[in-house]
Amino acid sequence: MRRWVLSCSVALLLLELSVTPVAQATTPDAANQSITEFLKQDDSQHAYKARRRLEVVNGSRTAWLEAFTEFSPAMGFQYHVVSEGGSAWIRNMVLRGVLDGERDLIKKGETARSSLDRTNYFFHANGLEADGLASVRVLPRRKDRTLVDGTILLTVATGDLVRLTGRLAKNPSFWVKNVDIARSYARLAGVVVPVSLTSTAEVRLLGAATLRMSYVYSEIDGRRLP
């Protein structure tokens, strides 16, 4: 579950073409307990089938694409585009590139680089939000373009990841900088999965670029969803 962060950085790397410690005991026990529960959860990526919609806005240029995506440990990640519109160049070079990049990184077994775990991050409990969620500061252990310097929101009792916000710890390249992300998660079929992503960046010479991606799941671990 925590390894889903990686595809966000892949997405912003590809926007260039359009030109995841021990908790600190200094905050309320409830927030620290949420970190403990979070880090105890299974970190493997679960098999799923989902329809995704990806959109990019870069100044006056826009494009969108919808695809059926599927992952299993046996076959890896696959996708099939079912509809698309807008700039053909952005669709082919960026949107398809996002999905191709995710497929290739999974195939190479590199998802652990971005996992929200002790290997990659320090975790510091900030306290509880007004909505009862635990706010946790996540500090990358190294400057890496697959890691996020930011905050996660967790359910207190179970440590479920609800939201991740922040900035990539390292600019992806000379051409892309100040990459901010906001990703939302939900528990479906007993598994925490990403449901939406928004990422923005400054692309040198082209200005601000925004990527949005949403997921609608039809199956998780072989269980059909309504």
Rounded to an integer, the average pLDDT of 92-111 is 88
Residue with tokens 């398809």: 96
Q: How many residues does the chain have?
A: 226
Please tell me the pTM assigned to this model. Answer: 0.86
Phi then psi dihedrals of residue 42, to 5 deg: -60, 130
Residue 1 pLDDT level (bands cut at 50, 70, 90): low
Helix H or strand E encompassing 13: helix 6-15
Q: Which amino acid is at 214?
A: S
Q: Would you state the CATH architecture of domain 2-224?
A: Clam (2.50)
Q: Which of 11-25, 58-72, 186-200 has the lowest mean pLDDT?
A: 11-25
Query: What is the pLDDT of the chain when averaged over all its residues?
Result: 87
Q: How many CB atoms are located within 10 Å of the residue 77 CB?
A: 19
Q: State pLDDT tens for residues 113-149.
A: 889 999 999 999 999 998 999 999 999 999 988 899 9
Position 152 pLDDT exceeds 80? yes
Domains of the chain by residue range: 2-224
Mean pLDDT across the stretch 89-118?
88
pLDDT mean over 182-202: 96
176 band by pLDDT with thresholds 50, 70 and 90: confident
CA angle 57, 62, 68 (to 5 degrees): 95
